[in-house]
Chains A and B, each alone.
Chain A
Amino acid sequence: MSEAQRDVVRYSVIVPVGRRVDYLATLIAEYAEALGSIGAGFELIVVLDGPKRELLEALKSVAGSMPELRVIELARAFGESAALTAGFDAARGGILVTLPAYYQVDPAELPKLLAAAEGEDDLLIAVRWPRASTFLDRLRRGGFHALFKLVSGIEYRDLGCGVRLLKREVAAEIPLYGDQHRFLPALATKRGFRVREVELAQSPKDMFRGRYRLREYLHGVLDVLTIFFLVRFTKKPLRFFGTIGALAAGFGGVFVIVMVIQRAFFGVGLADRPALLLASLLVVLGVQTFALGLVGELIIFTHASDMKEYAVRSIIQGRNSKALQQESKEAAAGGQ
């Protein structure tokens, strides 16, 4: 590769470093070697999520022989989504690649991912395949993806894989916070980006040595519910809260009426029936939920002008449509 080619950064590779790290310096060197083999300019951005002195020293020692490497250190641990966003902000390339700081995909497979990016797709997500796993792993993974499919309507095979390739527009348009990086494909699909899964061979060193704790399961489920709400009801909170509220209040109301009729005409006592309180509670809960939905609608109304609900791919006009198309794309990307 000539010096001139090196200067033009085409791929920005971002490696967020959180709690789980495997021999970072070695891994980075392996990534760099695989990326160097394709002959296009790239940069490697390592984002340390919080101060990690030992890793920083290790990276400094390899940085001398690796001009593509840049290291960003966050002041404290903000989480992987924030680390990725910091990396995206610093990136200079038009195509962004995210890679995990531990072995998931065989680094030798990376050229395959970059080659797949030549198509029309805006976001590529890696699927570790073929993959070695225990029965329990498969069960856990299958359950999570089935739940995700149930609520989002989209089927993915490996949302836990940190290897992704995305065009700059995708990162610019989708704000990531919390644990949302895992659900980037669903959020991108909702915004109309083209998403595709790419099969890459699993690294033989890919194994999670820790145990999954109950808290992690709970987080996973809550995250899925958040995404469900964000994907389906962002602009219509009352549809979500209102349906739940109306069901609860309706059920409770019918229950109350039945009991009052029983008391009035059939002589069934009310005083010794806790069911009356239960039914009234349901009514109260329903109305409260409904009211929350109304407050949600107010939030959306007051912020509607900030959140564009559509994304324009191109504007076609007259014979010179090509030029306009490009222009509008830039405008759309800049306007988001």
Chain B
Amino acid sequence: MKSLDLSVVVPLYNEEESVELLHRRISEALQDTALAYEILFVDDGSRDRTLERAAGIADRDPRLRVVEFRANYGQTPAMAAGIDLAAGRVIATMDGDLQNDPRDIPVMLAEMDDDTHMVVGWRKDRQDKLLTRKVPSWIANRLIGKVTGVPIRDNGCSLKLYRASVIKRVPLYSEMHRFIPAMASITGAHVKEVAVRHHARQFGASKYGLSRTYKVLLDLLAIKTIIGFTQRPLLWFGLLAVPFMIGSLVALVAAVIPVFTMVDGELILPFAGTGVLFGALAIFLIMGGALGELIYATGNVDLTEYSRLLAVEPTRAERGKDV
């Protein structure tokens, strides 16, 4: 396949009203830039006429490819499919609901310099409901930044640009699209943040609500484990074990003291019991870490390969073509 400058990946799920307008806006934004680009619409098993309409556009526009999924798999798999199939050297992802503005793509592309592997959008003036969307999102972003060590103001913004060589190697699964910057940071990728426009939703209903908060929290812990593990194997589980080990020691000492001092020993049994239990838990956690080490060693994730890649790419010559 011939090399392209840019691939725009858009996952679509029941967006029949917006698909035509979306395609027109992307085309208008990119036509004047002299970039060799392609658009990938990934239809995530829509139940309305999204696929039909997208296919209709593909008949007219040779730059558009429409990927039809066999079923509804979710936003992350849809993005992963688009990224796997994209031919561009830079891959842009955005939402299909017209809330992102494709005119930001050239602006963000200009920011993609030698040391940058990822440019993420930041919806500065977000057009959403304050209480149910903006406030939880603010808290979530602070939390994600703290936990993952990648302080991005807006993880939820889908408008992001990646160097293909980096993003194609980042494992994307489950609902990881929120954490792509964090995942990519494992590889040592550098991230830039650019303020982007944000429009209020025109068609259809929002597909996200507050109900997924606890899922995000669990996913965040999973990411933390993965990041922690890739950096300091075994230590992460060891760290989890430390509080229980301290608790265990304190309880055991408290249980033993009355034996020598002959003071009233009412609490010997509860202290000894909890001490032994927590000690067992600490050992279990360290064992878990050892097991994780084994899994990690036998798995096929080779991060040194990522680092090598980042070390040689991009070259000066390539940069000239990129922008």
Contacts and interface: CB of A to CB of B under 8 A. Distances in A.
Interface string B67-104: 11111111011101100010000000000000000000
B70 A191 contact: yes
Contacts of A261: none
12 contacts: A193-B71, A238-B219, A273-B270, A281-B277, A288-B281, A294-B221, A299-B299, A313-B70, A316-B55, A317-B58, A318-B62, A321-B59
A301 B299 contact: yes
Contacts of A319: 59
Contact of A295 (B171, B268, B288): B288
Contact of A310 (B58, B78, B244): B78
B303 to A, nearest CB: 11
B45 A312 contact: no
A191 B69 CA distance: 10
Interface in B35-83: 45, 54-55, 58-59, 62, 64-74, 76-78, 80-81
Interface string A279-301: 01100100110011111011111
Interface stretch (B13-21, B145-153, B172-180, B203-211): B172-180
Contact of B285 (A269, A281, A287, A317): A287
B171 A304 contact: yes
A314 B77 CA distance: 15
Given A238-B219, A302-B298, 12 more contacts: A193-B71, A236-B175, A238-B218, A276-B270, A277-B273, A287-B244, A294-B221, A294-B288, A301-B226, A312-B70, A315-B68, A316-B66
Nearest to B69: A310
A309 B77 contact: yes
Contacts, number: 164
SS class, residues of chain B in contact with chain A:
helix
A239 interface: yes
A271 B269 contact: yes
B67 A298 contact: no
A334 B296 CA distance: 28
Contacts of A299: 295, 299
A310 B81 contact: yes
A306 interface: yes
Given A271-B266, A300-B173, A302-B296, A291 B71 contact: no
A218 B201 CA distance: 51
B253 interface: no
Q: Which of the four size classes fits the interface of chain B?
A: 35 or more
Nearest to B38: A317
A267 to B, nearest CB: 11
A242 interface: yes
Interface string B296-313: 101111000000000000
B170 to A, nearest CB: 9
Contacts of A301: 171, 226, 299, 301
Contacts of B284: 288, 291
Contacts of B78: 310
A270 interface: yes
B58 A298 contact: no
B59 A287 contact: no
B256 interface: no
A305 interface: yes
A280 B72 CA distance: 43
B273 A280 contact: yes
Interface in B227-259: 229, 237, 240, 244
A277 B272 CA distance: 10
A36 B288 CA distance: 58
A81 interface: no
Given A298-B225, A301-B171, A302-B296, A277 B70 contact: no
B130 interface: no
Contacts of B299: 298-299, 301-303
Nearest to A277: B273
A291 B241 CA distance: 10
Contact of A309 (B64, B73, B301): B73
B277 A284 contact: yes
Contact of B68 (A191, A239, A287, A316): A316
B291 interface: yes
Contacts of B73: 192, 309-311
Given A281-B277, A295-B291, A235 B173 contact: yes
Interface string B2-17: 0000000000000000
